[in-house]
Structure 1
Amino acid sequence: MSETLERRAGRPAKNVLNRELILATAITVLNRTGPEDFTMAALAKELGVKTPALYHHVGGKNDILAGMRQFVTAGIDYEVFKSLPWDEATIAWARSYRAAFAAHPYAISLLATVPVTGAHPTLVMYEEVSQGFRAAGWPEGKIVSAIVALENFILGSALDAVAPPDMMDPGDFAGEVPGYTQALRAGESTEPRMSRADQAFELGLAALVAGLAGLK
């Protein structure tokens, strides 16, 4: 589905309005305008139709958000929990999760507070991840909390991945914060082939998975 959506994303000239086209255009509008300006009216304008025309193909904004969630999360690899040990599967899942949302960072704030009810593919992912945790010996009462803890870290890391490269640079104040500046430069030279954001993500992910492993 994602390849088709990407091919058809954009302003349609004479396309027949349908659900797939609406969702593809919704992604385009979100990526361009951000969540604050993402409205049904803005989507209809992009499609060249009146807002009521959308409701012949979608159930409303929540339905569109569910479809957008499916598009954004399509690249998340949760099947790894069927074949890899828990820690390796969790790391692989987290990396693909971060990459999926880093490609559409505006979706994070838009979808973070929308219940997953009705988002069937997302629920399927949670089912597979939960089963992977369960098979690894996790107590039932800690599984969802552990998943949410990982998601909180992953989504924050996805935003960091698209932040400016000089996000942490002290600039003209480097002389006033020598300890921090020295640590920053040391980190840059330790893994020169990795971005600062990637280094932070890998370090944090390793620490988080190791810490969670001790809670099983």
Structure 2
Amino acid sequence: MSRVRKGVNGVLTRERIVGAAVALVERDGADALSMRAVAGELGVAVMSLYNHVPNKAALLKGMAERVLADLDLPENRHLDWRVRARELIRAFRRVARENPRCTDLIVTHSVEVPFGLKPVERGLEIAHDAGFDGPTSVRLMRAIISYAQGSLLRETEQMRMLDSLPADAAGAFAELDPERFPRVTLLAKELTEHDPETDFEFGLDLFINAIDALPR
């Protein structure tokens, strides 16, 4: 009669293993991911994981399924490609915001993790429907994903910069020489305001308009 293995918090399942792997990567980064490290997170022997996840590739697949499960992509190809491109970028950004380190891991391993190719396929489809050839479609797909990820990186860096300023953030620029930094001192208030959604949508409009202006 087989025994059900338990970790420190109950029955060991594939879902718990994948959840522990996602939490591990988000906390410690992709380099920390290993079957042994995940077993340590769960308080079980590493060999017990293989009853549910046969290898690291299967673990990555499970992580991709979990992280990208909420990637709500526009399915209607009758919609204008600009609308679909905007929705793809917004959807990918939402997912990347929830699990930034796992999303980066999945994208960099997309060939090994077919589920991670979901946004790639949709990006290529949108570029094709916009009238671009194969090589250009690949570059546009990469640019689409890069903008979604890059916007989050910029938000993080912006928050870190603002957190380092004194309470009167705009006043911190008062010590600058206005002759050397006329625009910075003039727009000090605006530079210290943080509105990530407005910034993202502004950049998204620029990005889509630039794609639309490319020759077919």
TM-score (norm 1): 0.77
The one-character-per-residue Cα deviations of 1:40-85 (angstroms, maximum 9, x if unpaired) are 2221012121122222322322332232122222222322452421
Shift of 1:103: 0.8
Q: Alpha carbons of 1:105 and 1:170: their partners in 2 closer, same or farther (altered >3 Å)?
A: same
Judge which range, 54-63 or 178-187, deviates more. 178-187
Q: Does 2:146 match 1:146?
A: no
Q: 1:3 is matched with which residue? A: none
Separation in structure 1 between the aligned mates of residue 29 and residue 135 of structure 2, nearest angstrom: 36
| Secondary structure, aligned partner of 1:79 | coil
**Which stretches in structure 1 are left out of the alignment for 5+ residues?**
1-10, 190-194
After TM superposition, the score normalised by the length of structure 2 is: 0.77
Aligned twin of 1:88: 83
TM-superposed CA distance for 1:149, in Å, is: 0.9
Question: Which amino acid in structure 2 is aligned with residue 97 of structure 1?
Answer: F
Matching of residue 78 in structure 1 with residue 78 in structure 2: no
Going from structure 1 to structure 2, the CA distance change for 1:162 and 1:80 (only over 3 Å counts) comes to farther
Q: What corresponds to 1:42 in structure 2?
A: 37
- 2:92–2:119 Cα contact (<8 Å) kept: no
How many residues get paired? 199
Using the alignment, how far apart are the partners of 2:185 and 2:100 within structure 1? Answer: 28
- Which residue of structure 2 aligns with residue 13 of structure 1? 9
In structure 1, what residue type is equivalent to 2:84? A
Q: After TM superposition, list the pairs within 5 Å mapping 1:62-73 onto structure 2.
A: 62-73=57-68
In 2: Cα distance, 1:181 partner to 1:100 partner = 37
- Is contact 2:67-2:103 (8 Å) kept? no
> Of 101, 105, 118, which residue of structure 2 is paired with 1:110?
105
Task: Say whether 1:30 aligns with 2:25.
Answer: yes
Rg larger in structure: 2
Quote the residue 2:113 is aligned against: 119
Structure 2, gaps ≥5 residues long = 1-6, 167-171
